[in-house]
Structure 1
Amino acid sequence: MTLPQRFIIDGYLIDMSLSEVTGKAGSIKVEPKVLQVLLLLAQNAQQVVSHQQIMDQVWQGSEVVPNALQRCIARLRKVLGDNAKAPRLIATHPKIGYRLMVDVQWQQAQTAQNAVTRVPQKLKGTWKWQALVVLLISFGLFFAVFITPLEPKIKSIKTITHTDSFESDVSYSPNGQYIVFNRQTQSCYSHIWAKNLKTGTESRLSEQAGFYRDTRFTFDGRSVIFTQQQNCDQKAIEFEPQSANCWQINSLDFAESLSSPQPSAVRYQCQNQSITRPIALPNHQYAFLKTEQGNSGLFIYNALNQQSDVLFAPSALSIYGYDYSPVQSQYAVIGFNPDSEHVLSILNEQGRVLQQNIVTLKKTILPLTQFEIRYSNEGGALLAVSDGTLYHLSMDGKLSEYKPLQKNIISVHKHPTNAQVIAIAGYKDTDIANVPIYTQRNSPLQSGINQSVQPYKSFARTKSAEKSAKFQPLGDLIAFVSARTGNDEVWLWDGAQAIQLSDFANNSRIEQLTWSPDGKQIALVSNGLLKLIDLEGNTQSINAPVLLEKVAGWYQTSNLLVTATAANARALLTLDLKTLRFTPLPIEGVINTWSTDHTLYFSHLNGKVFRVSLPIDSQAPEYMSALNGKSLVLSQNKFYSYDQTSRYLSMYNLEGELIKQIRPLKPFAWKLSDVKEQHMLLEQVIEVNQEIIELELSYDH
């Protein structure tokens, strides 16, 4: 057994066993292949090692991407502070190979066999067993240090903001001196702020509030970029963001904005397709995710020629997140494959796949829960957040939790040089109100989230999230989803008290539920599985060919509509409850559905509503421009929908034509979940508590 090889080059300690390089600025993780190249050069210091010799010994005949060796050398120079134009450590011999230009100091490295042969002769006899004990202890220490798995740890937590408003989308400046973030003002609008972490001084950067997201610095620190969503036809920002049909990338000059709030400049013009997570690249380019009809891909926009091109959008993957590392000049992209497995793809700057692995999920992780990923300072790993938990994600798809667990983390961003990460942490408290449809119209509108006053009086009030309330057909019950036990469960409200109906396994997550037409059963998807529950709590699980996302509607008497994540799309399937057969429908990107005997209405993620005649054939869906799919109910052949422009609850016919405005709804209680006779159920936001914290992380034994 060979002990770990450690050597010193120009003051840098290289530890092969830890894949780590330690210098004056601290330690940094380096990919094993990169260090294997350095080890080979160190073993042949002052001598030229040919390209072929390096490839044969390091890669041993395995297939590699083009320029793999050159990228390793570039990475070594970056880590060791070397300069290719004026090298002091690694010399390039064109078309031949590379040479380490300095001497190497080797730390003691010996084999177990050698350690035994070096036992002095005098240890024989009475000292023999003592020597053996010492040797065994030495091996025990070796295994404890080098064989024990590395563990991700949260060493400390520091609160950065603590306000009545809530913050989101935080990131460090390249020098780590500032953070920028969004701070909510009213409804869904925010301003962009900066905070000096040394002085504690906060500065508002944006001149006007807007529907801003994905705020972060450019890599040179000169600008802050973000996405803005708005209505292209409106010069002033005055409507709910759900009315927007425009997504664009904007920027603020950071130095000027610190002096006084500034208007933003548009870098990528108004798009009618959702764009998220913009990252500024060199040469006036921007990377971002773009979504259309539920399909997503990684795109590059060149501001010089104003051209947008696909970098990575394989048909077999449904991409939902990514990050870019300027140090390694590569992308990490994550998405679902057709089997609903998370696939992590590492790409070079041209979009070529360097490696691709399925993420190994722990039992506590829900199958369809998405990960937000960011590169860590270790280079060979990612920070991943899912369902409030922070994970260490290796490039080969291995997950491990940072402990102690912090179950309320929403997003993280690494510090540019040290072990800190800046994070958004918090929770959302939603309740359900049973409100008369018709009432006086002079109800006062609130201008912001009030943490002590409910927009409307809630029933079954708790500090956890309640959602997806539905009136019982042919009955007086209300079914809803609540997380008051720590897991999403189905509850019933009888007008006086809440009764828990379901009792699922730990970590259950339910997106929404629906009643059967006769009011005797409830259908839902929990953790990817379809379940039917009767009023006694008896549960029937139905196997599906894929992991499901949620129940989208009960179509006619014996058919359910469910959604699932398929290859690069959200698929819609119908289930015949008589035969238990699932059949995919030729519609993609569906979020919710509503149906009559002859027509199927459905919405996409952006809230747009379409309709097709039944049975569905090759016909193109018709767009219903007046309806808001994020707040829509079909009852007695009438649509009830929240009009984002007027902020009124309105009634429409089946053609999507306005019949009348009914009443205004308050800013945080406009999400309509059901209508029955003269009453409606509203999902309302009581409190959104999100703050900025700073975590100190370690990844060691």
Structure 2
Amino acid sequence: MDNPSRSAAFQIGGWLVEPSLNQLTLDERSVRVEPKVMEVLVCLAENSGRPVSKEQFMQSVWAGTVVTDDVLSRCISELRKIFGDNPRKPEFIETIRKRGYRLVQPVVVPTEPATPELHGVEVGQSSGGDNDEMIAWLDADSSSIRSPLKLLSIVWTRRSSPWVWGSGLALIGIVISSMLFANWLRPVEVAEQPPRTVPFTTFPGEELDPALDPTGERVAFSWTGAGDGFDIYVKQIGGETPLQLTTSDGDERSPSWSPDGLKIAYIASKDGLNSIQIVPALPGPIREVAAFGVRSISNIVWSPDGSKLAVSAQNEVYGAYSLYLLSVETLEIVELTHPPRYYHGDTAPSFSKDGGALAFVRGVSGQIQDIYSVPTTGGEPRRLTSDFTEVTGLAWSDNNIVFASMRGGTSSLWRISRGGGTPEWIASAGDDASVSQVSTSAGGNLLTFARQTSDVNIWRYDIGITPGSVIASTRWDSNPDISKDGSKIAFVSDQSGNYEVWTADDRGEGAVQLTTMGAPLTSMPRWSPDGNKIAFVAWQDGAADIYTVDAAGGTPQPVVESPAEDISPSWSADGRFLYFSSNRSSGYQIWRKDLTKLEEDPVQVTSIGGLAAFESEDGASVYFVRPNEPGIWKIDVESDEVSMVLDSLEPTDWGNWEITNDGIYLIRRFQGKALVTFYSFRTRRSRNIATLTNVPDDPSFSVSSDGKWLLFSRIDRSESDIVLMEENG
């Protein structure tokens, strides 16, 4: 079987593969992929029908680069998505256990067109003269590619006749001239060049929320320039100094231009209160158009006709984000979308160019999201993607939607048509960076986005001693959990390219990757009481399930599976049960699974809502937190009596608390700080034991069973600049 070269086009299973364009085409459908994904496919095609080991892939695709098997798994997963291939019944890519992968489909390499069939005369036979063969060749099918060298060879072999020789040379000149002229008229196919990107801001601090003005000549953005919060700035493309429009001591975010380019709407937050305000594009009086109180506002965007603003805001205190339409003239607000109550909700709205539709991001959580669209007149939202991964921004560009996503496992820009389909890859963020907050110009092919870099590490705090870093890398390291005997740490890291469970000793030494799930998200590892197993959550195909894995290594085993979201595992004191939260019934509730009877269904524990839970040491009570409600609650296992224990835990910190024999440790937020607080079961009093900084909201906290030390995640670096890009599409 013929094999393709590194750049030559080839076909597999009806798909045309063009490595030089990073493109696959089936019928009228074309899909752009990341370069490494294409290189993996080429490597498979070069070995069509034969297993390709992981070592071969590493040598062929990632030579000179240190990566883990997860990177290869993501590429294979992306190819299977494109081909619609089922790994259990593969028609394209087969997994060969302990050996690698094999391309099942045969590879077809297009050959050079054959010499044209002659019309009525065979080569080498003369029907009426020495020049018959030459005339027959010239009379060949005009759609074929004719070689002047072939013509010259015919003339040379018939050179015994002076007339043939002379007329042949003349004909050669005519044919070559005609071919050159025809080729000159024919459009030249040029491989698409990667989009050109240039830095727009490189200021100290963080620059976020870029918004191109309608002419594509200015960019509004938020910046921590003065160091006391975000303010709104405008900078001319090609200019040097930005113009500051707001100067309050709160935060101003998410600027959006009016269609005439004269005004900018933005979100203002101060003293815990949130509102929408409008300021002239040249400094002037500020007008408040909507107040949302303590309800958080995520994004706003102006409609193309200037009559309204689309607003993403919480539909109740601590509630999910809904989309609203705000009339700029009458200030009337209409709720447009109604996400499920326990979802993160609908964010990042963007109007289509005709104003008839809104594209937006709907998320089960902040990391499990997809793109939807909804008519601005109302109706049921239509789902456009099924990636179940983090989407960090989107914007309309003509009839396409450009979006930033972790699709494929790395932060990249993608393009999808307004009707849906397979997204087309545009460009990646680069190593250790992410793209977010996409904005496009009203006309042309210019877009802008924020390019962010951050570093989240795990720190250890021995009570009374200065904290120090114990788990550190250039990637994301969080979700720490301390084993009951205090000798081991479990945590989640994307050091390998995917979010996976890792373990280390209590000082962070000897870190080992424990899982290779290759899932969009893996989170919340929890040690069993005997330290032999770890329970964790993995999102696969849009659903969150709970697995356990031996602490010494091995294949993770699913223990709680359902089409619902099953999250937040914790062990009973004797290790027999797993408590978890699930929305399989009326919203998120706490459930309990008997691990000695895996065939039996779990039992519901709470009925007033539950997002995370811990069993007391004596097994008599279960402590839990409720979705979108502050505080920690307790339910008596025998009587089902429920009571509030604490009211000081915010809903955003639902994963940042633990219990010990003596009490409850939790994180409270105050003036940008994270206060570690201990509530004593004996005295029923609370006291602060540490003040931490830069602790993220996601589950970032664990305490040793003796209460002498704790782990917390910390954002050690966070930077953001704004980038301009010229689209090719």
Distance in 1, Cα, partners of 2:642 & 2:243: 50
Distance in 2 (alpha carbons) for counterparts of 1:266 and 1:587:
41
Q: Distance in 2 between matches of 1:561 and 1:218?
A: 50
Q: SS at the partner of 1:533? A: strand
- AA of the residue aligned to 1:472: S
Contact kept in structure 1, 2:454 and 2:719, CA below 8 Å: yes
Q: CA deviation at 1:469?
A: 1.4
In the TM superposition, residue 478 of structure 1 has moved relative to its aligned partner by: 1.6
Stretch of structure 1 that moved more, 270-279 or 171-180: 270-279
**Aligned counterpart in structure 2 of residue 276 of structure 1, from 287, 291, 298:** 298
CA distance in 1, matches of 2:608, 2:196: 45
Whichever residue aligns with residue 578 of structure 1, its letter is T
Cα deviation code 1:207-257 (max 9, x no counterpart): 1242444333233333332333444xxxxxxxxxxxx4x332233332116
Indicate the structure (1 or 2) with the bigger Cα radius of gyration.
Answer: 2
CA distance in 2, matches of 1:294, 1:588: 15
| CA deviation profile, 1:604-646 (whole Å, cap 9, x unmatched) | 46x8335252569999985943224524333334233334337
Report Cα offsets for 1:114-149 as digits up to 9, x if no partner: xxxxxxxx99965443325269x9xxx9xx999x9x
Gaps of 5+ in 2: 1-26, 30-131, 147-178
1:171-198 CA distance string (max 9 Å, x none): 1122222212222369994222222212
> CA–CA distance in 1 between the matches of 2:579 and 2:135?
80
* Distance in 1, Cα, partners of 2:340 & 2:235: 42
CA shift for structure 1 position 537: 0.9
Per-residue Cα deviation, 1:422-477 (whole angstroms, up to 9, x for no partner): 111122201111112235xxx8xxxxxxxxxxxx4211322222111111102411
Distance 1:617 1:396 in 2: 53
Q: Do the aligned partners of 1:431 and 1:458 also contact (CA within 8 Å) in 2? A: yes
SS at match of 2:283: helix
Paired residues of 2:399 and 2:418 also in contact (CA < 8 A) = no
Tell me the equivalent position of 2:702. 674
Given that 1:221 and 1:254 are in contact with CA atoms closer than 8 Å, whether structure 2 keeps it comes out as yes
Which residue pairs with 1:65 in the alignment? none
- Bigger drift between 527-536 and 580-589 goes to 580-589
After superposition, the Cα gap between the structure-2 partners of 1:498 and 1:195, relative to the gap in structure 1 and judged at 3 Å, is farther
1:297 alignment partner in structure 2 = 322
Deviations 1:570-623 (A, max 9, x none): 676543323333456766986544454424321546x83352525699999859
Structure 2: distance between partners of 1:153 and 1:655? 68
Aligned CA distance change for structure 1 residues 669 and 370 (closer, same or farther; 3 Å): closer
- Aligned residue in 1 for 2:717: 687
Say if 1:276 and 1:595 are closer, same or farther in 2 by CA, change over 3 A.
Answer: farther
User: SS at the partner of 1:398?
Assistant: strand
Counterpart Cα distance in 2 of 1:126 and 1:324: 59
Residue type of the alignment partner of 1:312? T
**Amino acid aligned to 2:266:** F
State the one-letter code of the partner of 1:369: T
Q: Do the aligned partners of 1:510 and 1:550 also contact (CA within 8 Å) in 2?
A: no
Q: Are 1:547 and 1:564, in contact at CA under 8 Å, matched by a contact in 2?
A: yes
Q: Provide the residue aligned with 1:527 in structure 2.
A: 539
For residue 356 of structure 1, report the CA deviation from its aligned partner.
Answer: 2.9
Partner of 1:352: 379
TM-score by length of 1: 0.65
Which of 642, 648, 654 aligns to 1:626? It is 648
2:488 corresponds to: 477
Q: Secondary structure at the match of 1:485?
A: coil
Question: Which residue of structure 1 lines up, in the alignment, with residue 77 of structure 2?
Answer: none
What letter matches 1:379 in structure 2?
A: N
Report the AA paired with residue 554 of structure 2: N
Letter in 2 for 1:613: I
Separation in 2, partners of 1:669, 1:371? 19
Which residue does the alignment assign to 2:222? 182
1-structure distance, mates of 2:696, 2:340: 38
Q: Does 1:553 align with 2:570?
A: yes
Structure 1 unmatched ranges of 5 or more: 1-16, 20-121, 232-243, 362-367, 444-455
Map 1:310-329 onto structure 2 (within 5 A): 310-313=335-338, 319-321=345-347, 322-329=349-356
Q: Does 1:198 align with 2:238?
A: yes
- Specify whether residues 197 and 278 from structure 1 end up closer, same or farther in structure 2 by C-alpha distance, changes over 3 A only: same
Q: Does 1:162 align with 2:188?
A: no
Q: How many residues align?
A: 532
Counterpart among 576, 586, 597 of residue 594 in structure 2: 576
* Match of residue 522, structure 2, among 490, 510, 518: 510
Name the structure 1 match of 2:425. 402
Paired residue secondary structure (1:256): coil
Cα 1:189–1:548 change in 2 (3 A) is farther
Query: 2:480–2:700: 8 Å Cα contact kept in structure 1?
Result: no
- Does residue 661 in structure 1 map to residue 688 in structure 2? yes
1:167-566 equivalent positions in 2, closer than 5 A: 167-184=207-224, 189-231=229-271, 244=272, 246-256=273-283, 265-281=287-303, 285-291=308-314, 292=316, 294-302=319-327, 307-313=332-338, 319-321=345-347, 322-335=349-362, 345-353=372-380, 356-361=382-387, 368-386=388-406, 388-407=411-430, 408-438=434-464, 456-494=467-505, 495=507, 497-506=509-518, 509-528=521-540, 529-542=545-558, 544-546=561-563, 548=565, 550-555=567-572, 557-563=575-581
Q: 1:512 to 1:666 in 2, by over 3 A?
A: same
Once the 2 structures are TM-superposed, how far is the Cα of residue 419 of structure 1 from its aligned partner?
A: 1.1
Residues 153, 402 of structure 1: 8 Å contact kept: no
Are 1:337 and 1:567, in contact at CA under 8 Å, matched by a contact in 2? Answer: no
Cα RMSD, aligned residues only: 4.4
Partner of 2:669: 644
What amino acid sits opposite 1:309 in the alignment? V
The whole-number CA distance in structure 2 between the counterparts of 1:464 and 1:382 is 26
User: Does structure 2 retain, via aligned residues, the 8 Å contact 1:628–1:641?
Assistant: no
Q: Secondary structure at the residue paired with 1:626? A: coil
**Paired residue type of 2:492:** V
Describe the superposition over 1:3-49 as per-residue Cα deviations: whole angstroms up to 9, x where unpaired. Answer: xxxxxxxxxxxxxx999xxxxxxxxxxxxxxxxxxxxxxxxxxxxxx
Offset at 1:547?
Answer: 6.0
Q: Which moved more, 1:554-563 or 1:174-183?
A: 554-563
SS at match of 1:332: strand
Q: Which residue of 1 aligns with 2:100?
A: none
Distance 1:418 1:306, change over 3 A: closer
Check 1:512–1:613 CA distance in 2 against 1; reply closer, same or farther (3 A cut): same
Distance in 2, Cα, partners of 1:553 & 1:572: 11
Instruction: Tell me by how many angstroms 1:303 deviates.
Output: 5.8
Which one-letter code corresponds to 1:415 in the other structure? Answer: S
Letter in 2 for 1:698: N
* Letter of the 2:436 counterpart: I
Question: 1:273 & 1:316 partners in 2: Cα distance?
Answer: 15
Conserved in 2, the CA contact under 8 Å of 1:438 and 1:678?
Answer: no
Check 1:559–1:489 CA distance in 2 against 1; reply closer, same or farther (3 A cut): same
Alignment partner of 2:140: what SS? Answer: helix
Alpha-carbon distance in 1 for matches of 2:205, 2:657 = 29
Is 1:598 the equivalent of 2:616?
no
Secondary structure in structure 2 of the residue aligned to 1:402: strand
Contact 1:429 1:687 in 2 (8 A): yes
Q: Deviation digits for residues 650-682 of structure 1, max 9, x if unmatched?
A: 322469965223233345689860122211212
* Aligned residue type for 1:374: L
Matched to 2:256, the amino acid is R
Please give the alpha-carbon distance, in whole angstroms, between the structure 2 residues aligned to 1:649 and 1:469. Answer: 16
SS of the residue 2:282 aligns to: helix
Q: Which amino acid aligns with 1:600?
A: Y
Please name the residue that 1:131 is paired with.
142
Q: What secondary structure, in the 3-state scheme, does the structure 2 residue paired with 1:421 have? A: strand
TM-score by length of 2: 0.63
1:616/1:360 Cα in 2 relative to 1: closer, same or farther (>3 Å)?
farther
Separation in 2, partners of 1:524, 1:303: 47
Native 8 Å contact 1:672 1:682 kept in 2? yes
Separation in structure 1 between the aligned mates of residue 322 and residue 267 of structure 2, nearest angstrom: 17
- 8 Å contact from structure 1 (residues 154, 402) kept in 2: no
The alpha carbon displacement at 1:413 in A equals: 1.0
Q: In structure 2, what is the Cα distance between the partners aligned to 1:465 and 1:168?
A: 20
